[in-house]
Amino acid sequence: MAPISTPQTPFGRVLTAMVTPFTADGALDLDGAQRLAAHLVDAGNDGLVLNGTTGESPTTSDAEKDQLVRAVLDAVGDRAHIVAGIGTNDTRHSVELARAAERAGAHGLLAVTPYYNKPPQEGLHRHFTAIADSTGLPVMLYDIPGRSGVPIDTETIVRLAQHPRIVANKDAKGDLGRASWAIARSGLAWYSGDDMLNLPLLAVGAIGFVSVVGHVVTPELRELLDAHLTGDVQKATEIHQKLLPVFTGMFRTQGVITTKAALTLLGLPAGPLRLPLVELSDPETDQLKIDLAAGGVQL
């Protein structure tokens, strides 16, 4: 049975975009994935996003994606919302992945803006609509123009929000003004997809986070969110400021790289990266240790 959700919080409030653990030889580590998922849920996540960019989706096969979803569902699917990343820059392929995720038992879908081919807004509308039409699962859009090259315009978001299964947006656009208008006009459940802007986005109407730093500071993110929800602005701000070194340190380079390094330092499943991603250098690892310690992470 899927965890309880509401129209206001269709996937919970605190989700971590989980890395995909690999074994030393680069194979999928399903046991490690289950242990990491259990750790993250125990820490306070009420949802996990699998097979996103942080999960190295560009270098995992469709079969590996399916195996990962099934393994994590077996481990924590009764305690957390499992959202499967299915976005590609090929609508037909995305639809195939969406249907496979539904067969595997995923509770929802994350659909990123098609990247590299730079479709116009009408193409985006048709792409996301085709995905939403293809299954009975709720869909979270993922707006990240820094990676995709194309933003989802506010008018397009408002149009897409009319679809009964498009219920949320993960916002990594970095534009609080546009976010404010889109939240007000679309009525979508809005999730921060940029950890540095977690608190600012809450202030303009976001309801939660899809986080990378949740791998190491989920309890603090939960505390920040709870403080905001209860109106304790000062406490929420203090937690936000305490976490600034973590937000900075985890994104000094590509987030998967630093996240896997941090998990290894904490003795949690992670494993190597697949090319073209590479491990942190020794000086970079030393800097990450300094950043995490400055934010209160005990290594």
**Active-site residue set:** 142, 170
In Å, how far are 163, 178, 299 from 194, measured between CA atoms? 25, 15, 24
d(CA 73, CA 80): 9
Residue 32 is which amino acid? G
d(CA 225, CA 68): 29
Question: Which of 73-107 are b and which e, b meaning 16 or more Cβ less than 10 Å from the residue's Cβ?
Answer: bebbbeebbbbbbbbbbebeebbebbebbbebebb
DSSP letters along 126-180, please? Answer: HHHHHHHHHSSS-EEEEE-HHHHS----HHHHHHHTTSTTEEEEEE-S--HHHHH
d(CA 51, CA 110): 9
d(CA 287, CA 291): 6
Whether the Cβ atoms of residue 163 and residue 124 lie closer than 8 Å to each other: no
Q: 10 - beta bridge partners?
A: 12
Please enumerate, by residue number, every residue annotated as part of a binding site for pyruvate.
54, 210
Whether the Cβ atoms of residue 12 and residue 46 lie closer than 8 Å to each other: yes
Question: Residue 11, Cβ neighbours under 10 Å: how many?
Answer: 29
d(CA 189, CA 1): 22
